[in-house]
Structure 1
Amino acid sequence: MRRTDPLYVSLGGFVGAVLRWSVGVVVPGELGTLVVNVLGSFALGVLVTAVTSHRLRVLVGTGLLSSFTTYSTFAVETATVAPSLGLANVGANYAFGIAAATLGVAWGRRR
């Protein structure tokens, strides 16, 4: 860890939280959560394969993307809907998230 890492995490976290909120305004509910989780999975896949800069990984990966994606909202939304919808929500988040991360890794390796 470098002394400046908390600054980068804070800055990225602020940007990621504002972006997450913005997506939630445009696409509310479970679909908005799915959108940010899939986009974040793709972006993290690209980041871990294409970016070697420690600062950028801390800023974007640990800061921005961890604030942009949301496991807690996904968990609460899943727990509060009917069991069949909850199962579909879990399946969609994991299937699309893993697919997006796989595509992001492939995209990042092409760079």
Structure 2
Amino acid sequence: MWRDVVLVAVGGAIGTAARAGLTLAFGDDLGPALVPIVNVVGAFAIGILFGWRARMPESSRAQRVQLFVGTGVLGGFTTYSSLAVESADLGLLWWGVATVIVGTAAAWVGVLLGRGGRARV
């Protein structure tokens, strides 16, 4: 169990550092658009991982990859709490709603790609 917690924590630190790096590199240029971009890209990647896992046989190694990459790295990378605060600060409810809708669609496409283009059977 502790191994899993460490995997999620290390992955989360990597994902958070990646998001912070993008913010430092592109925050001035993209402004408030950066948060939705990060969330949609992260949702797409999580979808791919989820779809890939659906095709794999159950194993402790595959579960650890999902914990590290999905819950850790990509969970730390995405910023839905930041999106909520930013949407409220901008006074743009549609900004947050639209990002959730587009992120959900991106995750759905990612799941299909991760499953090799096959729908759930």
Q: TM-score, normalised by structure 2?
A: 0.80
Aligned counterpart in structure 2 of residue 88 of structure 1, from 79, 87, 94: 94
Give the deviation of 1:89 after TM superposition: 0.9
Q: Which residue of 1 aligns with 2:116?
A: 110
Cα contact 1:37–1:93 (8 A) shared by 2: yes
Percent of aligned positions with the same letter in both sequences?
Answer: 37
The 3-state SS of whatever aligns with 1:23 is: helix
Q: Which residue of 1 aligns with 2:79?
A: 70
Q: Which moved more, 1:26-35 or 1:39-48?
A: 26-35
Question: Structure 1's 92 and 26: CA in aligned 2 closer, same or farther, altered over 3 A?
Answer: farther
Q: TM-score, normalised by structure 1?
A: 0.87
Q: Tell me the distance in 2 between the aligned counterparts of 1:15 and 1:24.
A: 14
Give the deviation of 1:95 after TM superposition: 2.1
Question: What RMSD, in angstroms, separates the aligned Cα atoms of the two structures?
Answer: 1.5
Q: Which residue of 2 aligns with 1:33?
A: 35
Q: Tell me the distance in 2 between the aligned counterparts of 1:5 and 1:79.
A: 35
Number of residue pairs the alignment of both structures matches: 107
Q: Which moved more, 1:56-65 or 1:89-98?
A: 89-98
User: Which runs of 5 or more residues in structure 2 are unaligned?
Assistant: 57-61
Which stretches of structure 1, 4 residues or longer, exceed 4 Å deviation after superposition? none
